[in-house]
Chains A and B, each alone.
Chain A
Amino acid sequence: MKRHLISAADLTRDDAVLILDTAEEMARVADRPIKKLPTLRGRTICNLFFEDSTRTRISFEAAEKRLSADVINFAAKGSSVSKGESLKDTAQTLEAMGVDAVVIRHHASGAPYRLANSGWIDAPVINAGDGTHQHPTQALLDAFTMRRRLVGRDAGLGKGLDGRRITIVGDVLHSRVARSNVDLLHTLGAEVTLVAPPTLVPVGVENWPCEISYSLDEVLPKSDAVMMLRVQRERMNAAFFPTEREYSRRYGLDAARMAKMPEHAIVMHPGPMVRGMEITAEVADSDRCTVVEQVANGVSIRMAVLYLLLGGSEPAVTTARTEENK
C-alpha cells in the first residue's frame, strides 16, 4: 500500500481486500466488552477539518480512540483559514507539534494530494473527503457493507465483489462519493451503473469504468445494491433540474420502485439523507436500507486504514489471521 490514502483509485485489489479483511477483524473488537486496542498507543493523529462534517470527524475520532491514539481535532472554517494562514502553514504547524498522521477534509479538490506531495510535511495523509474529488474511506465502508450483505461476513474474507451489480443514483457531478465508489467497486470486480439526470453527470464521464443510465426504472431490476446520493435542494436553483417534485418522481427511491429490485438487493446511502427528496421515509426505514450499518462499518474501516498506514508490523488483533500479517 502507498504511504497516503488520497484516492480510491490508488488502491490495488490486494490493498482493498486487505483493508476490508482487516476491518472485519476490527469489527469484532466492537463486540467485546472493552472496545479498545493498544495498537496506536503513543501516536498522535490530527483530524484537520476545513469543512464541517460532524459524521466523518466523529467516525475517525472513534476509530482513532479505539486504537488508543492521541487525537487532536482541528476545525478550520475554510474562509478564515484561506484569508489568514495557508494550508501549508497549518500543516507545518501540526507537524512541528509531532503529529504522526493527518486526516484531512477540505472543500478544495486536490488539497489532500497537495498536502501529501508538496514536501510540506512527512506524515501520512488520509483523505476524509476533498471537494468533488474523492472520499476513499467512504467507498471502502460502502464496499465493506456490500461484501457483508451480498457475499457474507465470513464467506467474504479474501474476496472482492466480482459480478455484483451496483447502481449509484443522484448528483454524480458534485459527488466525491460517486467518484470514489466507481473507482473502488471497479477494482473489486463489481459492475457499476450511474443513474442521474444528464445535467448531473460530468462532461468527460465516458472514461470512467462504469455504465451511465438516465432511467432508474430500467436499472433497478438488475441491481444487487442501489446507492442513493444526497441531492442538495439548492441545485435546482442552478437549473440542474426543474423542481424537487420532478426530481423525486424521476430519480427518487420510493416503496414502489424498491419493489422492482431483486429480493436480496440492498439500499444504501452515505448520509445525511434528504428524506422526501432522493429517498422516502418508508425506504429509508426499511430492513433493506443499510444506512445505520454503514455508519458502524465506517468506524471499522477507518480503524483498518489507520492501522495499516500507521501500525506497521504488529498484528492489530491478537486472534486469527496472524499468519497473513506476516
Chain B
Amino acid sequence: MSKILIRGAQVLGGEPQDVLIDGETIAQVGTGLSAEGVDTVIEAAGQVLLPGLVDLHTHLREPGREDSETVLTGTRAAASGGYTAVFAMANTFPVADTAGVVEQVWRLGKESGYCDVQPIGAVTVGLEGKKLSELGAMHESAARVTVFSDDGKCVDDAVIMRRALEYVKAFGGVVAQHAQEPRLTEGAQMNEGTVSAELGLGGWPAVAEESIIARDVLLAEHVGSRVHICHLSTAGSVEIVRWAKSRGIDVTAEVTPHHLLLTDELVRSYNPVYKVNPPLRTERDVMALREALADGTIDIVATDHAPHPHEDKDCEWAAAAMGMVGLETALSVVQQTMVETGMLDWAGVADRMSFAPARIGGLSHQHGRPVSAGEPANLTLVDTSYRGVVDPAHFASRSRNTPYEGRELPGRVTHTFLRGRATVVDGKLA
C-alpha cells in the first residue's frame, strides 16, 4: 500500500496540518511531517479536510432501474461528491425486502470500489405497508442491515409502524420513516399554499408530514425505540422534533440539501426538475430547516439522491417523476446555505454529513471517524474557495435531473480517499 502526504490542509476547517496516510489508515497528523518515503504529496494549503461523507439516503436504483442509475454509477457520483459511504434505499425492483436482494446490492457495492454501500431493508413486504419483511434475516445477512425504510412510501398503518419500531430493538435497528399521510396527499403535486392555489396543482400539505412525525415520535416514546425521520421539510416538523428531543424521545432527523435552498416559487416554471417528494416548501420553511440543522434539532444532511432518466422529466409536470440527483452537489449546497451564512462551521459540517449519519446508521466503526492517527483513512478534501456553475454534463451519475443546472455554487471536492485509496484526484474520478 502506498503512503500519501496531505500537506497544509485545514482539518475540519481548523489550523493547517499535515496528514500522513499509510495504507488504509491515517498514520500521523501534525505539522511539518516529513515527505520521506512518501509516494504522493498533495499540496492542500487553503483546502478543508473532512472525514469522508456519509449519505444515509441514496437511491442507487439497482436492481431494476439501471437506466437511471447503477450501483457503479451511483457510487462514482458519491465519490465525486466527497462520500465514502452511502446507504442504498430499498425501493428497487425487486424491492430490497429479503436477505437475497440486500446481499446483491451489498456485493455490487463491494465490486464498485468507489464507496461503501450499506443497503437499507424494506420495513414491509413490497413496500406495501401490510406485512413486516424479514427484518432479522436482512440484519443477519452479509449486508448486516440495521436501517429499515419503506422510503417513497410511508409506513402509514400505526400498528405496523409500532411493531416495526419494537421488533428492530432486538438487534439495534432503526426505522427511517418517510412521513407522508397518504390520504392527505392523494394527487399531490407540490407544496400546498399560495403557489399551488395559483398554479392549479394538487397540494401536498405540511400537515401530512407533521401528523405522521408527531404520531411516530409518540410511538417511539411509548415502545422505547428509536426512530429516524427522512427528509424533514417543514417548519412545523422542526418544532415537533425539537419538542420530542426535549422530552427525551430517541428521534433523529435528516434534511436534504434542496430543502435548505430551494422553494416552491420555482414550480411556477412548471419545470419538473423541481418536482420532488416531499415537495419544495416556502422560504419560511427553508429558514426553519437551516436553523434546526445548525442547532442540532435536525441531526444530518442526507441527499435523497433520486436519479431519473431524461424522458421522465422532459414532459408535463403531472406526468413527471419525483426526485432530484444530489450526491455531486450536496456539499456545495451545504457550504452555501450553512457555512457561508455563518450558521455552521466546517466541524459542524463534518458532524452533520459524516459523524452523525455514520452513528445513526451503525457504521461508526468504519466511517464518520475523527481525523487522527490510527483511524481509517476515509477522507474528503474540499477547495472551499472554488466557484463554479453546475453543468450536469460533467456528472458521474447516469442521470442529469439536477435543479441546480446553470446555478453558481461554491466549493469543489478535489480528493476523496476510501481506506487510503484515492477515488477522486484533482476533482476527477480516479
Contact = CB atoms under 8 A, between A and B. Distances in A.
A and B: partners? yes
B318 A131 contact: yes
A117 B195 CA distance: 19
B198 interface: yes
B199 A110 contact: yes
B197 A108 contact: no
B193 interface: yes
A130 B201 CA distance: 10
Interface size class of A (residues with CB under 8 A): 20 to 34
Interface string A103-140: 00011111101100110000000000011111000000
Interface residues of B, number: 23
Count chain B CB atoms within 10 A of each CB in A87, A109, A134, A206 and give the residue with the most. Answer: A109
B317 interface: yes
Given A86-B311, A110-B270, A179-B198, A203 B203 contact: yes
Given A133-B199, A176-B200, A109 B318 contact: yes
Nearest to A175: B200
A87 B198 CA distance: 23
B368 to A, nearest CB: 41
Contacts of B317: 108-111, 114
Contact of B197 (A82, A86, A131, A205): A205
Count chain B CB atoms within 10 A of each CB in A108, A110, A118, A179 and give the residue with the most. Answer: A110
B197 to A, nearest CB: 3
Interface in B148-200: 189, 192-200
Given A203-B197, A205-B197, A82 B203 contact: no
A88 interface: yes
A91 to B, nearest CB: 11
Given A113-B270, A114-B270, A204-B192, A82 B319 contact: yes
B270 A132 contact: no
Contacts of B311: 86
Contacts of B319: 82, 86-87, 108
Interface in A175-200: 176, 179
Contact of A134 (B189, B193, B200): B200
Count chain A CB atoms within 10 A of each CB in B205, B316, B319 and give the residue with the most. Answer: B316
Nearest to A206: B194
A110 B196 contact: no
Given A113-B270, A207-B194, A87 B315 contact: yes
A173 to B, nearest CB: 9
B314 interface: yes
A247 to B, nearest CB: 22
Interface of B: 189, 192-201, 203, 205, 269-271, 311, 314-319
Given A109-B270, A133-B199, A204-B198, 10 more contacts: A86-B319, A87-B319, A108-B317, A109-B318, A110-B199, A114-B315, A114-B317, A130-B200, A204-B196, A206-B194
